[in-house]
Structure 1
Amino acid sequence: MVTFKAQLYAWRSVIFALFLRELQSKFNDKFGLGWAFLEPFVFIFALSFFRSILRPGDVHSIPLFIFMMIGLMGLQSLTSCLNSVSTSIKRNKPLYAFRQVQPISAILTAGFLEFSIKVIVVALLALALYLIGEGFAIHDPLLLISLFALLWIFSISLGLIFAIAAAFVPEVNKIKALLTRPLIFISCVFFSLQDLPEKFWPYLTWNPLVHFNELARYACFESYGVKGVSYIFIIEVTIATVFLSLAMYHITWKRVLSR
């Protein structure tokens, strides 16, 4: 009789093996992990430069580069994790011939890999800010960490929903791409919610990423404020997404294997 402890050890071994496989396939070019840092850094620098031309100076007490960095890292954390998780079931389909490998293992591995990469990227960006003399003291580190964790959980859950849907209707991937492209314009990456009149806020605050970005900026700079966003809304949306994704997986995972 297989004990629960033995099952956990087997599951850990499977996830570790899948993690090494995903890591090797993701960084098999010459740039490797360095590109994961260079891409957001160059993108942030370019966007900050164009934003400084349109409206120079700080953004509601936040230096422009840091303002853009927080918004862009929130956006990239969501989209990269969503894209990786939503395709993980299909990518690892040949491995499901082994009884120990299940779709949920591929989902968690893809999400954990993206989480690890973003932690390294954030640490490197923080080091770069320190070296160029733009260091700052974080106002509420616990809030910032909890926001990053909630964003990670939300992204994995949303990716799981798209992965299951794409297993039955492949065209869902095109819908996902269509939905994620406008996020850079409607997620308070370029601008602050406070830059807009309050009558326009309801058209943006349905987007959870707006709340993530604005609260992350407040967690770094208390003077930024928390107008128009809610931490409770983030928790509610994350719980609802987790519940929906796990319910869909529990009902359909065996049929997903046969697709």
Structure 2
Amino acid sequence: MKTRTPWQVTRSVWYAMFMREALARTTADRFAWFWMLAEPIAMIVIMTAIRTLAMGGGKHISGAEFVPWIITGLFGFYLFRENMMRSLGAVGANQGLFAYRQVKTVDPVLIRCFLEGMLKTFIFMLFIFAGLLLDIGLMPADPLGALFDWLSLWMLGLGTGLTLSALDALVPETGRVMRILSFPLLIISGVILPLNFIPHDLRVYVLWNPIVHGLESLRLSFFPAYRSLDGVDLTYLWFWALSLITLGLILHLRFAMRLKAQ
């Protein structure tokens, strides 16, 4: 009998876990696909209504239409948020699989992040296609740049998910804190309100948030005339992403036995 290489074993584990997670994510709830579409649509409608009422019908951001602007921001943030939030509890939810020595604690986190990236990309593509049909200008001016920005946000979410999944298994309060912080992150990341409205003295602190760099860069790839914050730099985002990925992998390796026995 031919012995399989470690890479072949890993691929088999990832494929089996991916199919398990995909079925659980998309078919366990009969309204799963509905909510994936309904959440961003509801947020877009609510924010458009609030802006219309509060600003007398103004629908423009400097250099971009409001609806496409908020769609790109929402989906970029949701890509990061879902990678982060779905990773919480990933270790505990797959506890029974760790009886097989081929399954490592990092595997369910990687699979969940990959699945969420695929789902969010597919739904975002649906919105872009719908934007073409409705003529709301949602095609990126720089497709390759937009793809790289999207990948950057996914990597940031992956790094955050890897780190928090280990911390959540070791310190259960981590998950509760992050669920509380997810909405403030939506506000301070410039998803629903332009960060140019923030006083100039405070913008330097806003730029400490790596999510801001990803979202603003994504919007610039879609709307070249968009007036973004000065100082947006994807290198800063990648510094955070790679640092968090490294930290997360170290935590999973260092505390592997504790994570399996929680």
Shorter-chain TM-score category? over 0.9
In percent, how many aligned pairs have the same letter?
A: 26
**Structure 1 residue 102: Cα displacement:** 1.4
Aligned pairs, number? 258
Partner of 1:21: 20
**C-alpha contact 1:85 1:111 (8 A) present in aligned 2:** yes
2:33 is matched with which residue? 33
In structure 1, what is the Cα distance between the partners aligned to 2:114 and 2:219? 24
Aligned counterparts of 1:116 and 1:183: Cα–Cα separation in 2: 23
Alpha-carbon displacement from aligned partner over 1:221-246 (angstroms, at most 9, x marks no partner): 11114432222211221122122212
Using the alignment, how far apart are the partners of 1:43 and 1:137 within structure 2?
20
- The C-alpha deviation readout for 1:197-239, integer Å capped at 9, x for no partner, is 3212023111111111111111111111443222221122112
- Residues of 1 paired with 2:110 and 2:2: CA distance? 23
Query: Is 2:52 aligned against 1:52?
Result: yes
Equivalent residue for 2:127?
A: 125
For structure 1, the residue ranges without an aligned partner over 5 or more in a row are none
What residue in structure 1 maps to residue 225 of structure 2? 223
Query: Per the alignment, in what secondary structure is the counterpart of residue 33 of structure 1?
Result: helix
Measure the CA separation in 1 of the matches of 2:21 and 2:29.
13
- 1:185 maps to what in 2? 187
* Residues 1:168 and 2:177 aligned together: no
Residue matched to 1:78: 80
Equivalent residues in 2 for 1:133-148 (5 A)?
133-148=135-150
Q: Which residue of 1 aligns with 2:66?
A: 64
What's the Cα RMSD here? 1.9
Deviation at residue 157 of structure 1 after TM alignment: 1.4
Question: For the residues of structure 1 that align with 2:175 and 2:258, how far apart are their CA atoms?
Answer: 19
Q: Given that residues 87 and 161 in structure 2 are in contact (C-alpha distance below 8 angstroms), is that contact kept between their aligned partners in structure 1?
A: yes
The answer to whether the aligner puts 1:247 opposite 2:246 as a matched pair is no
Q: Kindly state the Cα deviation for residue 176 of structure 1 after the two structures are TM-superposed.
A: 1.4
| Contact 1:52/1:64 (<8 A) preserved | no
Q: Which moved more, 1:109-118 or 1:72-81?
A: 72-81
Contact 1:41–1:125 (CA under 8 A) maintained in structure 2: no
Alpha-carbon contact 1:37-1:124 (below 8 Å) kept? no
Amino acid at match of 1:66: P
Whole-Å separation in 2 of the counterparts to 1:127 and 1:102: 39
Distance 2:178 2:164 in 1: 8
1:158 match: 160
Q: Match of 1:99? A: 101
Of 189-198 and 66-75, deviating more is: 189-198
- Alignment match, 1:213: 215
The secondary structure found in structure 1 opposite 2:64 is coil
More off after superposition, 58-67 vs 229-238: 229-238
Say which of 201, 224, 227 aligns to 2:203: 201
1:24-77 per-position Cα deviation (integer Å, ceiling 9, x unaligned): 222222223243123212222222221232231310121110111111112211
Q: Name stretches of at least 5 consecutive residues in structure 2 with no aligned partner.
A: none
Distance in 2 separating the partners of 1:20 and 1:47:
36
- The answer (yes or no) to whether the contact 2:83–2:154 under 8 Å persists in 1 is yes
**CA distance in 1: counterparts of 2:201 and 2:157, whole angstroms:** 29
Task: Name the CA distance, whole Å, in 2 between partners of 1:226 and 1:184.
Answer: 17
1:84 and 1:160 mapped to 2: Cα distance?
Answer: 10
TM-score normalised by length of structure 1: 0.92
The answer as to 2:235 corresponding to 1:232 is yes
- Match status 1:11 vs 2:13: no
Q: CA deviation at 1:136?
A: 4.7
Tell me the distance in 2 between the aligned counterparts of 1:13 and 1:52: 52
State the distance in 2 between where 1:181 and 1:38 align. 18
What is the CA-CA distance between 1:6 and the residue it aligns to?
A: 2.3
Letter aligned with residue 200 of structure 1: L
